[in-house]
Chain A
Amino acid sequence: MRGDKMIEVNHLSFAYDPAEPVLSDICFQAGRGETIGLIGANGAGKSTFLRMLVGLELSFEGEILIAGERLEKKNLDQVRSRIGYVFQDSDSQLFMTTVEEDVAFAPRNYGFPEEEVRRRVDMALEKVHIEHLRGKSIYKLSGGEKKRAAIATILSMDPEVILMDEPSAALDPKNRRNLIHVINGLEGTRIIASHDLDFIRDTCERTVLLSEGRIIYDGPSQKVLQDRELLEAHNLELPLSLMHVITHTHDGSTHTHMFVHEHAAEHGKDHGTGHGADHGTGHEAMHQADHGTGHETEHGASGIDD
């Protein structure tokens, strides 16, 4: 094993069709226990990158090392046993009849005795807070429950790396908040691909910005997520949580305005070392939008003085 690096990607290039490269010369490293956001517009290559890390596409150039081991066809099983991949579409991930059976699928395949399988199932269900759904039919789960069940199916493998493709897609605000809570409670190296920048902001200290198959930025989330120019240049928008709401009463009626937050660094969560770079154009009115990330309350206190 080489040092503390869990994932090492050197000069990775890949194309489904030789005429259209999807990933070009990617160099990337992830340490143990790091949580990394992978952002980028639709078609940037996020899903493809994650799929490559678990060896679902093997015809690439360059090299991928997982815990110091080179990802190749011959050690695929070994490498995959260290990595859990959460599909964007939970329906593809869950295929057994009940939650319990599905969560037990991986440890059984890895040949653990039934007692250990049960222990792992208990542990996985507990980590995502769905012990009560144990015997429930997959068919009867709600979207949020399915997502958590899907995460449990890979937690039972006790993976060192967890990859998630658009985990917050199609979740309502409450389930989204629950999921953030779940993800922040996990251990191991986590890579979360998403174009939901608020979600990344709440879960990842480090962010990689992918655009047209290239890494444009790799550093503290804090910094890139408020770099409006950079984000817009790559078809992304500032996280909504970086705007805040000012409500005031005027002539007896209540007015609500949304502003770009200039002191984002004051945000309650530890977002690494980034400082509130003064991008954005200041007090620009924005349209009211769906929050639901729990920021309303946090910001209500810290941002009203703006």
Chain B
Amino acid sequence: MSKIDHAMHQLHSLESMAKEERWINRLHPSVKLFLTILYVVLTVSFSKYQLAGLLGMVIYPAALFIVAELSLKDALWRLRIVLPLVCIVGAANPFLDRTAAMNLGGIVVSGGVLSMLSLMLKGVLAVLASYLLIATTSIEKICYALRQAHVPKILVTEILLIYRYITVLLSETRRVVTAYSLRAPKQKGIAFAAWGPLAGQMLLRSMDRAERVYQSMCLRGFRGEFCFGGTGAPGRTDVLWLVFWTAMLLVLRFVPVMEIVGGLFV
């Protein structure tokens, strides 16, 4: 499989995951969106030395992975490009901040190491939470939830159109690259001299396609705003799920649960 095929496959497998008939997929998208945002905000708001408290936040994504029966391994594999980037953010901290912050059985941990770890963890948790949202909610439903949250329609439509355009661009790219490699079979990759014309071709073709897609939308009554199948008002399960996790996340954030639990054993 070529890299482009692979990218398309990834995109579509994520999409079909979001379409599966799982219990968690059927939760109201607004509830899921709200919880994800709440989770990210609370996680990021921990101070940089509160590693212990942050560890408690692992519960939410862990529970979701279990409930949604998603594989953590797949998730980490899919996010293999993003996660290292997120981790790099705090990498310099140990060198900048050398004040002792903690003593773990004789080993002194500097503030820098602590803040590096907490920054990494924050990043990883935020990415995982977003992944969980995307893997259990289709793009249409996420956009529907955004509209419900009064995000301007132009922005939401833009998100959806760009999302569609990615698919169009990928498939046109694949066609052009296939056509090229069939005529240059011995070559690995694409000759530098051919990049310009190929890129131009791709852009023109994908614009052409995008225009036809847009025409097909207009011919079917599209007037600038996506109409999402109303998911209806949240049901009892949705409300219970919302209340439970909101309470849980607030407790994890503002009550030093880990310290209390730790204190019981000392």
Contacts and interface: CB of A to CB of B under 8 A. Distances in A.
Given A117-B229, A137-B16, A95 B216 contact: yes
B147 interface: no
Interface stretch (A107-115, A181-189, A268-276, A279-287): A107-115
Interface of B: 8, 12, 15-16, 19, 138-140, 164, 167, 171, 209, 212-213, 215-223, 227-230
Contact of A110 (B138, B219, B221, B230): B221
A140 B16 CA distance: 10
Contact of A89 (B212, B219, B221): B212
Interface stretch (A22-30, A33-41, A80-88, A208-216): A80-88
B213 A114 contact: no
A109 B222 contact: yes
A109 B227 contact: yes
Interface stretch (A5-13, A97-105, A169-177, A258-266): A97-105
A209 B254 CA distance: 77
B19 A108 contact: no
B209 A91 contact: yes
Nearest to A154: B220
A77 interface: yes
Interface of A: 54, 56, 77, 80-81, 83-85, 87, 89, 91-93, 95-98, 101, 104-106, 108-111, 114, 117, 135, 137, 139-140, 153-154, 157
Q: Which 5 A-B pairs have the closest CB atoms?
A: A109-B221, A92-B212, A106-B220, A108-B227, A139-B12
Find the residue from B213, B219, B227 having the highest chain A CB count within 10 A. Answer: B219
Contact of B140 (A80, A96, A153, A154): A96
B19 A54 contact: no
27 contacts: A77-B221, A80-B218, A80-B219, A80-B221, A81-B221, A85-B219, A91-B171, A92-B212, A92-B213, A92-B216, A95-B216, A95-B217, A97-B15, A97-B140, A98-B19, A101-B140, A105-B222, A106-B220, A109-B221, A109-B222, A114-B230, A117-B229, A137-B15, A137-B16, A139-B8, A139-B15, A154-B220
A72 to B, nearest CB: 16
B216 A87 contact: yes
Contact of A109 (B8, B16, B140, B220): B220
A77 B222 CA distance: 9
Nearest to A135: B19
Nearest to B8: A139
Contacts of A154: 220
Contacts of A85: 216, 219
B206 to A, nearest CB: 11
B15 A106 contact: no
Contact of B220 (A56, A89, A117, A153): A153
B221 A95 contact: no
Given A97-B15, A111-B227, A139-B8, A106 B221 contact: yes
Contacts of A110: 221
A137 B220 contact: no
Given A87-B212, A97-B139, A157 B221 contact: yes
A97 B167 CA distance: 11
Given A97-B140, A139-B12, 13 more contacts: A56-B219, A80-B218, A91-B171, A92-B215, A93-B216, A95-B216, A96-B140, A97-B19, A106-B220, A109-B221, A109-B223, A109-B227, A135-B19
Contacts of B215: 56, 92
A77 B217 CA distance: 12
Contacts of B138: 97
A209 B12 CA distance: 43
Nearest to B140: A101
B243 to A, nearest CB: 27
